[in-house]
Amino acid sequence: MPDPREAKLAHLLVNYSINVKKDSIIRIFSGIEAKSLVLEICREVLKKGAAPRLDIDLPGFAYTYYKYAPENVLKMYPKIAEFEAEQCDGFLGIYCSRNTKELSNTDPEKTAMRRRITKPISEIQLKKNNWCIFDYPTDALAQDAEMSLEEFEDFVYGACLVDYDAMTKLEEKQKTILDKGKEVRIVGPNTDLKFSIDGRDGILCNGHRNMPDGEVFIAPVESTTEGFIEYDFPAIYMGREVEGVRLVFKDGKVVKATAKKNEEFLNKMLEMDKGARFLGEFGWGDNFGIRKFVKQILFDEKIGGTIHLALGMAYKEGGGKNDSALHWDMIKDLRKQGTLFVDGKAVMKDGKFLF
């Protein structure tokens, strides 16, 4: 029997998140594990008088590609993907993780090279500003979260099917604070970091780009980050866990990056391009229905009472200028101890907003 929550989520994604219009073409990327949800999404798209364009991932392809692809293939520009990105009016990514460690033993330089080549495709999609991504609950994700699949499904749908009108009202207050602010400072265990946000605009995240959602973010002024920060949770990128990340910034740039696990991988990613060592995003989580770290950034960066900083690409809609093929969110948990200041005034202390 189909899970009725999938029908509710499909309706939310099509009618709220990307607001499908008649005669539009909607690209849907997914895996076979999400067949039931994808069919529900297709029904909703068709009912709107729009055309679904399916792109279904093959299990094991990513590993095969990064293990065997020679340099000339890695540098091959995806012209067909570019055409599709230009022609489609919206995009839904329903990601199905089968093995979150699949790429752990592949060459990270291959990953970095391919990211640089495909970056223009991502930029086309971002400019259209009509996309949303979702992590379908699989056994692999449930295992990483240390839950049964049934428990993880309850966690996922509980985080997604929330009152987005109420979330929007809270985030409008948060945005006002950031829009008026000039400097952010984060103080906590092994952390004292500051940067300017002067002239930048806060962005509300209330179900239109990520599912689940629940954050407000802003782009730091590129050359202003000073100080140091140590992250509480593993920083995960392309399936690799980097534990105990500690970054030191000077004049906006990471000048020292250390980790207790996978430090070499961390530094290789920071060499991806010139923008990889600069911050592209600062945000805080305000989805208090998400309380547990589950090793999936789509959920973890939304945990109410945490903050996150992304190295690399800045989203241009808020005035961010940093350009990079990298965008790597890392999470600092302020719930046990820590204070977030905007212009010297505490706005979050020990994970609780003070307004």
Q: Is 149 exposed, middle or buried (0-12, 13-18, 19+ CB in 10 A)?
A: middle
pLDDT band at 290 (very low <50, low <70, confident <90, very high): very high
Give the pLDDT of residue 1.
Answer: 64
Q: Which residues pair with 305 in a beta bridge?
A: none
pTM as predicted: 0.88
**CATH no. for 4-160:** 3.40.1830.10
pLDDT tens-digit map of 34-80 = 999 999 999 999 999 999 999 999 999 999 999 999 999 999 999 99
| Domain extent listing, the chain | 4-160, 164-353
